[in-house]
A and B are shown apart, each in its own frame.
Chain A
Amino acid sequence: MNIRGNLLDVSGLRVSFYTYRGVIKALNGVDLWMDSKQRLGVVGETGCGKSVTALAIMRLIEEPGEIQAGRVIFDGTPLLARSPGKPGTRFQSQPLEIEGKRWKERTEEQMEKVRGKELSMIFQEPRSALNPVMRVGFQMAESISKARKISIRDADPHVREMLKTVGLDANRVIQMYPHELSGGMAQRVMIGMGLSTNPKLLIADEPTSALDVTIQAQILELLDHLAREGGNAVLMITHDMGIVAEFCDYVMVMYAGNSTEYAATKDLFNDPLHPYTQGLLKAVPRVGRIEELQAIPGTVPDLVEPPTGCRFHPRCPKATNLCSTDQPLFHEVKPGHYVSCHLYLNPKEDE
């Protein structure tokens, strides 16, 4: 029972979606961990499962999706502890032993106490998280009043304080409706609300993908500043390697529902081990780059019928026979540097 992160430890996460097309095996045993106050970037392309992972950690997966297995420990309490159930049952909730005590996974009511308070999330489209027919100020006050158990009127000074912290004119913004906010302003409001309870962990799911690049820079800087001051850990989900390089301390690369590589940011960029990471870095254009771009041949696989063995093997330039039959384990190859690739499991056998 190897627990790797003291704030968040995710291990063996499996999530499937039951659709008319078939069963989408979205997450195939994802491992992820963070220490407090850390910045982890989760990077991947379409279909890799990064957003699903975040939702699974928050236990927000709904029909037709189902978390089938995995263990999520957040700040010492298990948010999730399941193993695949017997045929006919969905899954089996199993007790965990942490710090000498036996715990079961949190119930839905217990989860509600954690979500939005210790564990918070902001999304890509900020305006879709706001009710379009209510003024922004009222919504923020409502959220704060629920979190701190105070009346809406008493929440008003907190709302103003929060708007000031995120750099907005409180008098103006409180009166506005969500559609009147620009993308940048709306995201600031979301960050304010997300950090208002001073969560131990803030999950940010592509928070700047819908924003212009200069506004993106402002928002990232705001987030950086506030998280540093508040001591909040940030799990940043993104597809942009530039954001990862500039914002995150550690990086997790995901591909088709698996964790493929984890390392400190500098280690990942300077010494990428997994062929997918290597391919990604060779495909990213960069100002001042001299080497020619190289594409990764093939396309992201269909998760209803994923490739056998290692899901990346059809596109991997270094694939061997083993890769098509066995799924490689995610394990530590160099200090603090984890990979799931047969090239590094048994160096003698990959010739």
Chain B
Amino acid sequence: MNQENLIEIKNLKIYFPVRASILSKTHFVRAVDDVSMDVPKKSTFALVGESGSGKTTLARGILRLIQPNAGQVAYQGTNILDLRSREFLPFRRKMQIVFQDPFNSLHPRKLIKTIIGEGMHIHLRSSEREIREKIATVLTQVGLREEHMYRYPHEFSGGQRQRIAFARAIVLNPELVVLDEPTSALDVSVQAMVLKMLRDIREKTGLTYLFITHNLSIVDYIADEVAVMYLGQIVETGKKAAVFSHPAHPYTRILMSSNPIPDPNQNREKQIPKGEIPSSITPPSGCRFHTRCPYIQDKCKKEEPPLIEILQGQKAKCHFPL
């Protein structure tokens, strides 16, 4: 266990059973298929991928909102997947999550104070006054006001609700905050505000973020480390600067190429991907990306490539990394 890491994930598997009918065979959606990765302390770790990549499922598996089928999640040395509910409760406090949907992630019939303060009622034996003071502090931190705690979610805009959701996440002084596409449902100008707030707070408090997104521009702004996922597997990982300046996996290249750049002066060579994203129930043989890869060779169809280290800290899951 590397002391630098907050979380070390080893060979995590999360499969969902699906059945066409009672009589047919059970198939499995291999949402997370043998994923290993390390999340360093006090960093922003971006988890990038499209539909079916498994990034959302992976994050929930780490938090034990979904129970993984196999593998280990070591939180500062302790494998939290093996713990019983009671033993796991103190870890719950240290890992919080902010969801994508600002409109449904806050209980519509509860006061902001109740929503934010619930965690404190569960974990701490604080007095009413302590709770109120803490909530006021946290609301100010995210750029809202103390009196807002007596209002209801529907009285706030999308951006403000995400800030409230973040306030709820940090009220218990966690060490890790998982952010699941926190700005995807927000307008551009509001998104900027939320991203800046996230970055500022992280710098001041030394939190670790696991930031899930499909938007590479946001990754560039906020992340220190990146892991790119495709069909339940990690296909590339490394420091953001390295991955962005020389992406080693063909999928990463295609992802960067597909990302529209808001600059008409640029005339870059675009690599347009072919084909659809395959199903996670019956993924392609060998390298899962081979059906869409422009550099495909025979070996790619037959053998699954290992995650090999290309340069210091940068790994790619490819037989012929670029």
Q: A residues engaging B (CB < 8 A)?
A: 45-46, 182, 184-185, 212-218, 220-221, 239-247, 265-266, 269-270, 279-289, 292-296, 299-300
Contacts and interface: CB of A to CB of B under 8 A. Distances in A.
22 contacts: A182-B276, A212-B50, A214-B258, A217-B273, A221-B272, A241-B188, A242-B260, A245-B264, A246-B264, A265-B264, A269-B262, A269-B263, A270-B265, A283-B189, A283-B192, A284-B217, A284-B262, A285-B191, A285-B218, A286-B217, A286-B263, A289-B221
Given A214-B50, A286-B220, A293-B221, A242 B189 contact: no
A185 B217 contact: no
Nearest to B270: A217
B159 A299 contact: yes
Contact of A295 (B51, B189, B257, B277): B189
Given A285-B218, A287-B256, A241 B262 contact: yes
Nearest to A283: B192
B260 A240 contact: yes
A216 B51 CA distance: 12
Contact of A280 (B189, B260, B274): B189
Most buried by B among A214, A246, A299: A214
Contact of A218 (B187, B244, B273): B273
Contact of B187 (A217, A221, A239, A285): A239
A118 to B, nearest CB: 29
Contact of B157 (A240, A279, A285, A299): A299
A218 B276 CA distance: 10
A214 B277 CA distance: 9
A292 B257 CA distance: 23
Contacts of A287: 216-217, 220, 244, 256, 259, 261
Given A266-B265, A286-B220, A293-B221, A245 B260 contact: yes
Contacts of B217: 242, 284-287, 289
Given A184-B276, A266-B265, A213 B214 contact: yes
A199 to B, nearest CB: 25
B37 interface: no
A221 B257 CA distance: 12
A286 B216 CA distance: 8
A177 B8 CA distance: 44
A246 B254 CA distance: 16
Q: Which secondary structure characterizes the binding site on chain A?
A: helix
Sorted from nearest, which 7 A-B pairs have the closest CB atoms?
A: A242-B260, A217-B258, A295-B193, A241-B262, A283-B192, A212-B50, A296-B189
B209 to A, nearest CB: 16
Contacts of A239: 187-188
B272 A218 contact: yes
B20 to A, nearest CB: 13
Q: Place the interface of chain B in its size category.
A: 35 or more
Contacts of A281: 262
Interface of B: 50-51, 157, 159, 187-193, 195-196, 214-218, 220-221, 244, 254-266, 270, 272-274, 276-277
Given A215-B277, A284-B192, 9 more contacts: A216-B260, A221-B270, A240-B260, A269-B262, A281-B262, A282-B192, A285-B217, A287-B261, A299-B157
Nearest to A43: B188
B34 to A, nearest CB: 23
Contact of A269 (B254, B258, B259, B264): B264
Given A212-B214, A214-B273, A269-B265, A45 B259 contact: no
Given A242-B259, A280-B189, A287-B256, A217 B220 contact: no
B194 to A, nearest CB: 8
Most buried by A among B157, B215, B260: B260
A178 B65 CA distance: 33
Given A46-B187, A212-B51, A215-B277, A285 B265 contact: no
Contact of B190 (A220, A286, A299): A299
B65 to A, nearest CB: 23
Given A285-B221, A286-B261, A289-B220, A213 B276 contact: no
A213 B50 CA distance: 7
B50 to A, nearest CB: 4
A46 B24 CA distance: 46
A212 B277 contact: yes
A24 B36 CA distance: 52
Nearest to A246: B260
Contacts of B255: 213-214
